[in-house]
Amino acid sequence: MPHVDLLELPYFQGISIDELVTLVDSMPPVEFREGDYIIREGENIPLFIVTRGQVAVEKMGPDNQLRTLAELDAPTVLGEIELFCELPAVSTVRALSRVSAFIMERSTFNLLRSSHNQAIGQFVFNVARVACHRLAVADQILATRPSNEDLPKMREDELAKMKEG
């Protein structure tokens, strides 16, 4: 895996070098080739911290075809929804180029969190900040939908489906 200054990634801001070493020691590196599926919707997955490459986030549409929702460049995280909400993968992610990442298993995350590891607390805050930006974009896209659509009802229905699944 190529050298990446993890302290420069937004997910590790505010974390000391010693704390970062502890985190990285618990996260094995992984590589994907262009076209590889990193995540498949419905699977149980770890958190991926992508340090190099580009990915497509895809979701099954009502026509049973995968629709590309986003193309994300490194650095980015994948699987934060699944990690924090303890859900199976809510989307499929495919490598658009060669991708390098670190993996944080849920068990590792839970162990670090239960031990009150300061770095994991800062990491969660940083991931939440990035996730909030993504949510703001999604809300902006929803706001452009036709005005006759009942967006609160659509959101409620989707949440109900998630709770059932």
- Asked whether residue 46 carries a pLDDT value surpassing 50, the answer given is yes
Percent of the chain with pLDDT over 70: 96
Q: For the chain, give the secondary structure using H, E and C.
A: CCCCCHHHCHHHCCCCHHHHHHHHHCCCEEEECCCCEEECCCCCCCEEEEEECEEEEEEECCCCCEEEEEEEECCEEECHHHHHHCCCCCCEEEECCCEEEEEECHHHHHHHHHCCCHHHHHHHHHHHHHHHHHHHHHHHHHHCCCCCCCHHHHHHHHHHHHHHC
pTM of the predicted model, to two decimals?
0.82
